[in-house]
Amino acid sequence: MKSRRLFICFLLLIWVTPYLNAGDMLDYEALSRLSATELIKYGDSYYHQNHPDTAIGYYIILAGKYNSNMAKSDIYLCALACRSIANIYYQKESYSQAFKFYMKTLKISEENGFGKLAAESYKNIGNVYAVFKDYQQGIECYEKGLEYAEKYQDTIVEMKILMNLPAICCLDNRISNARQYYERMLKFIGKDKSVEYFSYLNKALIFTAEKHYPNAISYYEKAALCAKKIKLDPVYTGSVCGEMAKLYRKMGQKDSALHYFQIYTNYSEENKLMYMLVEGLQALVKIYSETGNYQQALYYKDRYMAVSDSLFNTNEFNRMKNSQFVYEMDKNYQKIASLTKEGEDKEQKIKTQYWILTGVVTGMLIFFVMLVIVYIEKRKLKSAYKDIYNRNAELLLSEQKNRNQRIEYAGKLVEERERYALLEQKFNEIQLKDDSSIKVVAEEEKKEEQETKLYSTDKLSDEQKERILLAITDIMENTQEFYDCAFSLERLAELIESNSRYVSVVINETYNQNFRTFVSEYRIKEAQLRLMNTAQYGNYTIKAIAESVGYKSPTNFISAFKNMTGITPSIYQKIAKGR
């Protein structure tokens, strides 16, 4: 158990290396004697003194101690440590690492009933999704966090989530939801100074999404004034300038866009908001190029390249420091190991853990390679699915066109046959007037033939088969009878006023299929049309689609759909929604 804790602790320390300085090495032997309360206390102290690199060392040690057998109070401190690690990573824009520790915080919180911490974790995870522009997942996390915050009466987290939700809903084109959350946010006006700023900013974003640009500009200006008045962080004012510049450019007002991008760039440079500065310089290059002022475009391009190179060099330097820290961590590995293994053979334990670490690293490399392979194959499979979808859609539309033509031609053929029969009947009447005996014989033969055909499917005439086929086609094409799960051969025969044997023979001879396969094809084709009709059926589940076309079992529906189209209905629906 102790060796397992040692190994987890070592891995956590490896994870944190990108933001620890090798010169700030901690005395791990001393740290091993500290309680969870002391570790969190020292970590928070260094963090508030603006020493996050040192603070994260304490947090990592505490997070590595977590196990389900700890006291509930210590488990809570472990969760706080994970949250603090994630916050530091987030501030340093290492979002993948931040996401990992936010998820760790959430897992501990939900397993142990820390509702308020779970609410905050969902909020933070939603923030990460928003950075990566996965707005749908971000909204879902915010909404879950909102549920926790309301349940556990955490008004601070509720307020922060409601300040973010209107904006991300606008970005995901959920305007009605954005308005609803905006109205809910307004109840916090006066309880926090930043709410007033977000009330203006979110209103401006809603107006922008609704293309009410003059109103949007007015509220952006109010947001900028509010940020200065209540002395918010410079990033808030900078964000407003950037949004106004983008809005003017969208409106085609290049002069105004240029003005605000210049303000945005200067403001970002003054406040050392480097990534905002890069965005502003890049926008200025494009605008000056579009207006033909290539000298200014070249000037801002040089500045853009200089800032980009500076950031690149900084990253290179950080990577060098990280490699040095990893080296220092390797040298101190034996000291870290001694913290958790009392009375055991140290040498043997170090060797064992070394091989375990080697195995883990090797496994991770293999996993990464496999992940790349899976990703490539998944892209190929996705492309193949799209091709199959397109071919099915083309075949479906072509078949509908051919079917309509076939029905039209069949109807004309019946009309011609009826006209021919009428002429033949008149001709026979003239002939039979001269010979009544022949008439009697003909009627008897006709009666005998009808009786024979009535009881023998082998002697159905072509005309009878055509009439039955037309009746079948009419039912299948112009009614919704086959959507009924109880639709059967007997029911079809009843609808066309024939018998099941005749109907079965006509289907078998015409389509070379049995009744079940014949109906299944109609149902699957209708299911294809409904899956493609995202406007009407976009919110339907696969089970609902299956039931709507006559399948009791979703499993049977999926199997039949895949056999006929080559892909599952869920993939078919996903591709249809993505088009």
**pLDDT tier for residue 341 given thresholds of 50, 70 and 90:** low
- Please give the residue that has the higher pLDDT: either 323 or 417: 417
- Please give the residue that has the higher pLDDT: either 174 or 239: 174
Q: What is the pLDDT of residue 431?
A: 61
Mean pLDDT of 23-50: 80
Mean pLDDT of 137-151: 94
Please report, rounded to a whole number, the percentage of residues in the chain having pLDDT higher than 90.
31
Check pLDDT > 70 for residue 387.
yes
Range with the poorest average pLDDT among 24-38, 227-241, 284-298, 452-466? 452-466
Give per-residue burial for 388-398: e unless 16+ CB within 10 Å, then b: bbeebbeebee
E strand residue ranges, 4-78 = none
- Please give the residue that has the higher pLDDT: either 243 or 164: 164
Q: What is the pLDDT of residue 461?
A: 81
Check pLDDT > 90 for residue 456.
no
Contact 274, 236 (CB under 8 A): no
**pLDDT tier for residue 11 given thresholds of 50, 70 and 90:** very low
Q: What is the pLDDT of residue 325?
A: 40
Read off the DSSP letter of residue 133.
T
Q: What is the pLDDT of residue 23?
A: 36
Read off the DSSP letter of residue 459.
G
Mean pLDDT of 438-458: 47
Q: What is the pLDDT of residue 12?
A: 47
Q: What is the pLDDT of residue 170?
A: 92
Q: What is the pLDDT of residue 112?
A: 94
Please report, rounded to a whole number, the percentage of residues in the chain having pLDDT higher than 70.
77
Nearest CA to 396 among 306, 309, 521, 542? 521
| Mean residue pLDDT across the chain | 80
Q: What is the pLDDT of residues 479-488, one digit of tens each?
A: 888 899 999 9
Range with the poorest average pLDDT among 64-68, 416-420, 545-549? 416-420
Nearest CA to 32 among 336, 274, 279, 457? 336
Q: Which residues pair with 192 in a beta bridge?
A: 189
- Please give the residue that has the higher pLDDT: either 537 or 449: 537
Q: What is the pLDDT of residues 77-135, one digit of tens each?
A: 999 999 999 999 988 878 888 899 999 999 999 999 999 999 999 999 999 898 788 89
Q: What is the pLDDT of residue 307?
A: 74
Q: Which residues contact 570 (CB under 8 A, 6 or more apart)?
A: 542
Q: What is the pLDDT of residue 269?
A: 79
Nearest CA to 148 among 188, 183, 166, 121? 121
Range with the poorest average pLDDT among 78-92, 297-311, 454-468? 454-468
pTM of the model: 0.49
Contact 42, 33 (CB under 8 A): no
Q: What is the pLDDT of residue 136?
A: 93
Q: What is the pLDDT of residue 337?
A: 40
Residue 293 and residue 295: Cα distance in Å, rounded? Answer: 6
